[in-house]
Amino acid sequence: MRRTGNSRKREHIAVTTQVFADTDWLTQWQQHGTSGEEAIARFLQLPALEVDDMIGMWSGQELATNHPIDGLMPPFGWHGKNFVSADEGHPLIMHDRFGFYPLNPFFIPLRLLLASPRLFNNAVGRTAVRNLGRFFASGRPKARLRPVALGGTVSAAMIYDEKPIIDHFRRIDDRRCLGLMEHRDFDRPFFFLLTRE
């Protein structure tokens, strides 16, 4: 029996709804963390996003996988990301007592953070970053959105202008997406959650 266009559409909606509704894994991840292997497997199961789906302001949350930089971003005031257009991306929206500002990722010493995370993840380091962050703000976009293939699926990704970093995105539901950060110096990816504001 030949399937009609409507029946195929209903099947697609049913499958998509099931993927979106099954977010117990995310709650468990947020509360207890997960392994890097499980995080990658979950990411690759999620549906793709178009570049236009990412336009707008997003609040961010780290998702723990025992990565070397887990726990470093929130104490420094990381709020999320902002995509004005496909060619105007602000990867690091920070907040301090004066409000929000885009930090230039060029000045983030990721290699040093990987080598000596305790150098920054202490009261003195966090206070210094929060007080000095606006000196490293950028009035210009520092990343672009492009469709990029990962694990056989093409989805929206953010390519940094001055860092060897690509943030890949997959859809969780209409308001949330899962992010996977690749860096040339990472032996495995870093994960985060974005929620549309």
pLDDT in tens, 24-37: 999 999 999 999 99
Task: Please indicate, yes or no, if residue 1 is contained in any of the structural domains.
Answer: no
Task: Please indicate, yes or no, if residue 102 is contained in any of the structural domains.
Answer: yes
Q: Are strands 176-183 and 165-171 parallel, antiparallel or unpaired?
A: antiparallel
Q: pLDDT of 77-132, one tens digit each? A: 899 999 999 999 999 999 888 899 999 888 777 776 666 666 666 666 666 666 66
Task: Please indicate, yes or no, if residue 117 is contained in any of the structural domains.
Answer: yes
What's the CATH code of the domain at 154? 2.40.128.580
- pLDDT computed for residue 116 by the predictor: 66
CA 154/CA 29 separation, integer angstroms: 25
Q: How many domains in the chain? A: 1
CA 26/CA 45 separation, integer angstroms: 13
Task: Please indicate, yes or no, if residue 66 is contained in any of the structural domains.
Answer: yes
Task: Please indicate, yes or no, if residue 184 is contained in any of the structural domains.
Answer: yes
Contact 105, 133 (CB under 8 A): no
Per-residue b/e over 114-138, b at no fewer than 16 CB within 10 Å? eeebeebbeeebbeebbeebeebeb
Task: Please indicate, yes or no, if residue 88 is contained in any of the structural domains.
Answer: yes
Q: pLDDT of 44-80, one tens digit each? A: 999 999 999 999 999 999 999 999 888 888 777 899 9
Q: pLDDT of 149-181, one tens digit each? A: 999 999 999 999 999 999 999 999 999 999 999
Domain of 130 in residue numbering reads as 6-196
Question: pTM for this structure?
Answer: 0.82
Using DSSP, state whether 7 is helix, strand or coil.
Answer: helix
Using DSSP, state whether 147 is helix, strand or coil.
Answer: strand
Task: Please indicate, yes or no, if residue 80 is contained in any of the structural domains.
Answer: yes
Tell me how many helices (H) and strands (E) the chain has.
5, 9
Task: Please indicate, yes or no, if residue 70 is contained in any of the structural domains.
Answer: yes
